[in-house]
Amino acid sequence: MPDQSADTAVTVAERERHASDPARELALDCVTAGIEAAHPERVVADALSLDDGVLTVTGVDDATATYDLATYDRALVVGAGNAAGHFAAAVEELLGDRIDGGAVVTDDPTDTDRISVLPGDHPTPSEAGVESAREVREVAADAGADDLVVGLLTGGGSALLAAPAEGIGLADLRETTEALLASGAAIDEINAVRKHLSAVKGGRLARAAAPADVLGLAISDVTGDDPAVIASGPLSPDPTTYADALAVLDRHGIDAPAAVTDRLERGAVGDLAETPGPGDPPFDGDGVDVRIVASARTALGAAREVAAARGYEPLVLSSRVRGEAREAAKTHAAVAEECRAAGEPVEPPAVLLSAGEVTVTLGDDAGAGGPNQEFALSAAVELGGAGAIGVGTGDAAAVAVASVDTDGIDGATDAAGALVDDRLVGGGSDGGDGDGDTGSPLAREAAVDALDANDAYPALDAAGALLRTGPTGTNVNDLRAIVVAERDARSASPDARSEGPGASSEDTK
């Protein structure tokens, strides 16, 4: 793997404490390597090249596109997302004075010379984001037929590129966004609504840029890498409708503001123009092209290389994991247990890897946390249960689980996620394993109560399990590494499930 620059390296607070044994250290190294591989500086170096004024773009599908910049009067840059500032800086470093201006909006700013990096907020939109989105749209609208508009899109763009449609106020947009995020709705559902409340999403930014050529470069944070979903598809045709957006609100029981429901209902009966779909201008020719240049699979590939280099067998379970975080964690824990007990689907020592976007459906009195924190806590409960296989010793974990949001912000917290192992959750009501051993940092009953209250953050914080990185400069959504240590006599025994945590390999014969 290439050397990491200071700009792409991930710094984990209290790293030495988290990496206290080989399994925990490897889990942490896998997820940090994945984040670093998806940083725009690395992505631009891998996916873009400039030769004698000709820009070549290689997507994650290995398909290429070329643009002779000399044939354009101007090259303008627009964009939005958590990583848009770093993306803009990397593209500016490559193209230099061939860039004639531009604007991107982000919550993680960095220095640039030719592209304005504007402020916004995530995960709910703000007045700053509204003003910044207007400037981004103005740059696109200023482009002429002989110009090239380069769009830089990353995760978080939906909230950051906040340009409410006519009749929709910022308060309406915020209330609707917060309700959607709390509902457990999938990201494509959430973005179907956002597109129909926006002046730039759902292909409308590309429409504003017409008749200029548009080259979209996307770092995907959505399962399936659909350009129409990334950042709510400002440069892509929209296959959804006003009626689809209304159905999302109905399906998840969301009581949206009157201005929102009124707009969606008017659109559904044809009183408002739909977002541009496939075959509609400007998507009825070859003037708009969006390329995925990094995704969750970019991060998974780097994590897999780290695992293999340490002598562990890597297995990618999926890059498309979705659904409730606590339920997804149970399945992952079960696979880790099977691995430890039976050597299936892979023989330990092994690293199980996955990515995607898990969600949390919040209750009325929800506490603090995020999907990755809830995933980690649920996994710890499963791995520390009475039927778990191969509980680690006091000195080393048998199974370690790292689950992070690659942008460094899991939910509305200061943590990227958490690192847990099979020793974290004990069986008693006050910690420990229920037999007088209080060595486990977190009691099972307390952990289950925290999950039920969607309050994983304080429980994990008290146990010292939260991972804090600060903003990472990228966003390819969730990344998980589950390290399964080499099997010992106890974990391989068919009777191990029924033995208590204190049993030795001699006791199970």
Least confident of 107-111, 159-163, 206-210, 500-504: 500-504
pLDDT at 366: 83
Does the pLDDT at position 302 exceed 50?
A: yes
The C-alpha angle with vertex 403 and arms to 401 and 407, in degrees rounded to 5, equals: 155
pLDDT value of position 138 = 98
For range 7-14, the mean pLDDT: 90
- Residue 121's pLDDT is 93
User: Three-class SS string for 199-215?
Assistant: CCCCCHHHHHHCCCEEE
Name the more confident of 489 and 441: 441
* Backbone φ/ψ region at 225: left (φ over 0), alpha (ψ -120 to 50), beta: left
Q: Using one digit for the tens of pLDDT, what is the confidence trace for 410-447?
A: 998 999 999 999 999 986 554 444 333 445 789 999 99
Q: Mark out the alpha helices in 19-118 (DSSP H runs).
A: 22-37, 40-47, 84-95
How much of the chain, in percent, has pLDDT values that exceed 90? 84
Ranking 224-233, 289-298, 309-318, 379-388 by mean pLDDT, the lowest is 379-388
Identify the CA nearest to 481 among candidates 230, 307, 229, 285: 307
Which pLDDT score is estimated for 437?
Answer: 42
Distance (Å, whole) CA 408 – CA 277: 34
Provide mean pLDDT across the span 17-39: 97
Selected residue with higher pLDDT from 459 and 367 = 459
Confidence grade of residue 503 (pLDDT, cut at 50, 70, 90): very low
pLDDT at 364: 79
Instruction: Answer whether 18's CB lies under 8 Å from 28's CB.
Output: yes
Provide DSSP, 229-265. TGGG-TTS-----HHHHHHHHHHTT----HHHHHHHH
What's the pLDDT at 394? Answer: 65
- Report the share of the chain in percent with pLDDT over 70: 90
Nearest to 33 by CA among 373, 428, 272, 306: 306
pLDDT at residue 365, as a whole number: 79
Per residue in 40-59, pLDDT (tens digit) is: 999 999 999 999 999 999 99
- Averaged pLDDT score across all residues of the chain: 91
> Where do the domains of the chain lie, and which CATH numbers do they carry?
15-35+296-498 (3.40.1480.10), 40-163+198-240+275-294 (3.40.50.10180)
Say yes or no to pLDDT of 493 above 60: no
Nearest to 430 by CA among 447, 450, 418, 413: 447
Cβ(235)–Cβ(216) below 8 Å: yes
Q: How far apart are CA 166 and CA 104, in angstroms?
A: 22
Among candidates 463, 362, 459, which has minimal Cα distance to 411?
362
In degrees and rounded to multiples of 5, residue 25 shows phi and psi of: -60, -40
Euclidean distance between CA atoms 206 and 93, whole angstroms: 25
Q: Residue 224 burial (CB < 10 Å; 0-12/13-18/19+)?
A: middle
Quick one: pLDDT at residue 439?
57
| Total Cβ atoms within 10 A of residue 500 | 13
Distances in whole angstroms, Cα of residue 390 to Cα of each of 334, 336, 340, 384? 12, 10, 7, 10
| β-pairing verdict for 74-80 and 147-154 | parallel
CA-nearest of 309, 314, 296 to 404 is 296
For range 368-381, the mean pLDDT: 96
Residue whose C-alpha is closest to residue 439's, from 507, 365, 502: 502
3-state secondary structure of 102: strand
Q: What are phi and psi of 79, to 5 degrees?
A: 165, 175
The size of the chain, in residues, is 509
Q: pLDDT (tens digit, 9 = 90+) per residue, 156-185?
A: 999 999 999 999 999 999 999 999 988 989
Residue 199 near residue 120, CB atoms below 8 Å: no
| Band of residue 321 on the pLDDT scale cut at 50, 70, 90 | very high
Of residues 291 and 412, more confidence is placed in: 291
Task: List, in sequence order, every residue forming a beta bridge with 147; answer none if it has no partner.
Answer: 74
Which backbone phi and psi does 103 adopt, to 5 degrees? -155, 135
pLDDT digits (tens, 9 = 90+) for 190-242: 999 999 999 999 999 999 999 999 999 999 999 999 999 999 999 999 999 99
Please tell me the distance from the alpha carbon of residue 102 to that of residue 64, in angstroms, as a whole number. Answer: 24
Count, in order, helices (H) and strands (E) of the chain: 17, 17
